[in-house]
Amino acid sequence: MFDDMVAAQIRRLNDAWPELIRPLQFAVEDVPPSDPAPWEPRRCNSSQCFAASHGIPARVVLYRMPIQSRSRTKLDMQLIIRDELVGRIGELYGRRPEEIDPDWGL
């Protein structure tokens, strides 16, 4: 169910912003790394993004368990997934999340 929700949000965002979404890679992992690499930020709760580097495309990673633990309902989970994706995409492109999705944070 979680992966399906993520895929649905990515499709929705791709329909609105194909030029922003197509170049990105997306992944879902269960939890953030407990021992991040030296170049990774130390604190990442629900998601993380990585800029393109050395031929590797930019990517957004969502962490399933932290998002599920914050969600009381299916709708909560959908909104958290949406907000995490939009926030990280905005971070990668230097845009405010509201520019990408006007409903962000509502």
Using pLDDT thresholds of 50, 70 and 90, give the confidence band for residue 60.
Answer: very high
pLDDT of residue 41: 58
Q: How far apart are CA 93 and CA 83, in angstroms?
A: 15
Closest CA to 62 of 8, 19, 3, 17: 3
For 71-89, write each residue's pLDDT tens digit: 999 999 999 999 999 999 9
- Domains, the chain, in order of start with CATH, read 2-34+41-100 (3.30.2010.20)
For 3-46, write each residue's pLDDT tens digit: 999 999 999 999 999 999 999 999 999 998 776 666 555 556 89
Using pLDDT thresholds of 50, 70 and 90, give the confidence band for residue 56.
Answer: very high
